Amino acid sequence: MAGKIPQQFIDDLLGRVDIVDVIEADIPLKKAGKDFQALCPFHGEKTPSFTVSQEKQFYHCFGCGAHGSALGFVMNYRGLNFVEAVEELANLVGLEMPSREGELINTPDYSPLYSALEAAQAFFIQQLRSHPQKQRVVDYLKARGLTGQ
């Protein structure tokens, strides 16, 4: 898929997905009051500190601090990138991914910034080679663990 996934599609997707169903496909959850609990899949533990809120549609681990939506869980637990995770959740709820093939995406032209950075780099290299106090700076950089390379 080329281009960006529209935010409206992502919002619609998260509105249709039930985080409990998504997480329960990978780890067993137990009802605990109005929420669900499990052993955290992101770190080893003996007592459950991983909580899933069906009402708020997010998960949180009080042990390691992991938290997020169904999309974040799929990315972190299954090791998928953003687009792969969106595709997987879309397939789960029967949504068709928006097609953006052939569309031109307006991206900013960063070439002037790159030119400015290259000019700054050349200036600082020149200063390190010719400034009267260059040895003071070189000594400082060596003390910080940097080499001439």
Kindly state the DSSP code that residue 95 receives in the 8-state scheme.
Answer: P
Q: How far apart are CA 129 and CA 126, in angstroms?
A: 5
Is residue 35 classed as helix, strand or coil in its secondary structure? Answer: strand
Return the pLDDT at 24.
95
pLDDT per position as a tens digit, 83-105: 999 999 999 999 998 876 544 44
Could you tell me the two tokens for 15? 């509105």
Nearest to 37 by CA among 29, 27, 25, 46: 29
Is residue 38 classed as helix, strand or coil in its secondary structure? Answer: strand
pLDDT per position as a tens digit, 31-69: 999 999 999 999 989 999 999 999 999 999 999 999 999
Q: Starting at the edge strand that comes first in sequence, how are the strands of the sheet with 50-53 ordered?
A: 30-32, 35-38, 50-53, 58-61, 67-68
Taking 3-state DSSP, the helix, strand and coil percentages for the chain, each rounded to the nearest 5, stand at 45, 10, 45
Q: What is the pTM of this model?
A: 0.63
Return the pLDDT at 100.
60
